[in-house]
Structure 1
Amino acid sequence: MSFAVPPTRTAAVVRQLRNEIVTGELPPGTLIKDGELAARLGVSITPVREAIAQLSVEGLIDIAPNRTRHVTRVTQKNALELIDVMGVLAGAGFEWGVDNLTETHLDLLRRRQREFVEALREGNVLAAGAAGADFSTIVILASGNRELQSMVDLVVARTTRILAMTAESDLWNTWITGHEAIIRLLEAGDNRGAVQRYRQIYVDFRARVEAFLFD
């Protein structure tokens, strides 16, 4: 019988704060106070401080020289730069992993795509983001380069936070149609075409984000 091992208090606080930041419950510029967070979450100061340090590494919380902490503010420059970096890293991982995919991997890709679309239909942005990210992760991990996946995870978290898309956002369509096209190409044995289509997702996504957020 399998069961989920409860996370550490620090991991639980990281997860809670990350979700609040990504969903916009903690808006950009929000002042982060250790004592208030600890009281609200029912934990001691130590896991709160450790969680803040982790989220600072992820780029979700800014720590000023005077040690005050705020939820990272959004600018056009850092939004587009993050998408560029994510495209380079994930694109490399996808290219390295695509030739190692098996039918089992393809089944997982199809399943994640169904979960992605269904989560959006239900309005569950966090679940949709996780399923969408897992679609890429399946291929990147097939490359055997786990260090690259760790780097992609950090950039994805920061990019998701910056966009804070609702379930109704038209931006999701870039990923939905891109994933479906990739699956068709992989099923046809066109791995090079799948890599090109994957890279095109980031080109299209960047253009739509630029117009959507900063027009």
Structure 2
Amino acid sequence: MTSFEVPLTRREAVVRRLRQEITAGQLPAGTVLKDAELAARLGVSITPVREAITQLAAEGLVDVAPNRTRKVAGLTQKSALELVDVMELLACAGFAGGVDNLTDEHLARLRTRYTEYTGALARGDVTTASAAGADFSTIVVMANGNRELQSMLDLVVVRVLRMLAMESHSDSWRPWVEGYGEVLELLERGDRAGAVARYRRIYVEFRAAVERSLWPGEAGDA
């Protein structure tokens, strides 16, 4: 039987588009989201735009003020560190659970994603790099077979990717570039325990990089 891709609904299409624009920094924090303007720009009616913004608010990407004004949510250093901690708990649990189920096919896909990841960064293509980097972890987590864990992780990753929607030479990329490369080498050598330990260290290094960052509006607290 021939497989086919189910087309996105208008709401799903708008959610995906706005989520991409937010995580890529094309819609910066504080941007007011107006239904009519977005509908006109995206070529849809107001209803799917409103539904999409409601979903993005549930994901923490949009803030809704008491007067119903919707803005792209800001991200403080404190909230960023909290997100990193949550992502670490979910991702490391999924990685540790899936690593023993990896096949040669999985390893080949990991190598492909890592090549795409580093290549995109070299080109300064932050959006492609973010997607490839997220897929690298997803391949291992999904080998665990726990789809609920991956679903929760996806929501957190979307928000964390906003921290990486910056210049491709940012120090925050370094833990992932070096860490993913070393994890992949360990997996290809058959050192699964070593790969898990190195994967966990990525989050320690990334958290330290976030702590070193000076976030907008927090200069006085440094």
Preserved contact between residue 83 and residue 156 of structure 2 (Cα < 8 Å):
yes
Unaligned runs of 5+ in 1: none
The share of aligned pairs that are identical, in percent, is 63
Structure 1: how far apart are the matches of 2:179 and 2:163?
Answer: 21
* Aligned-partner Cα distance in 2 for 1:69–1:53: 9
Query: 1:187 & 1:24 partners in 2: Cα distance?
Result: 35
- Contact 1:182–1:197, Cα closer than 8 Å, also in 2: yes
What's the offset of the Cα at 1:39?
1.5
Over 3 Å counting, the alpha-carbon distance change for 1:118 and 1:169 in structure 2 is same
Local SS of the residue matching 1:62: strand
Q: What residue in structure 1 maps to residue 157 of structure 2? A: 156
State the Cα RMSD in Å: 1.7
TM-score normalised by structure 2 residue count = 0.91
- Give the stretch that moved more between structures: 18-27 or 102-111: 18-27
SS at match of 2:71: strand
Structure 2 gaps of 5+ residues are: 216-221
1:129-140 alignment runs, 5 A limit:
129-140=130-141
Q: How far 1:195 moved relative to its partner? A: 0.7
The code of the aligned residue for 1:179 comes to: Y
1:78 aligns with 2:82: no
**Shift in Å, 1:6:** 4.3
Structure 2 residue 41 is the aligned partner of structure 1 residue 9: no
Query: Counterparts in 2 of 1:176-187, with a 5 A limit?
Result: 176-187=177-188
Partner of 2:201: 200
Q: For residues 196 and 137 of structure 2, what CA distance do their matches in structure 1 show? A: 11
Aligned match of 1:89: 90
Q: TM-score with structure 1 length normalisation?
A: 0.94
1-structure distance, mates of 2:171, 2:76: 21
How far off its partner does 1:119 sit?
Answer: 1.1
Deviation at 1:74, TM superposition (A): 1.5
Flag as ranges the 4+ runs of structure 1 deviating above 3 A. 1-6
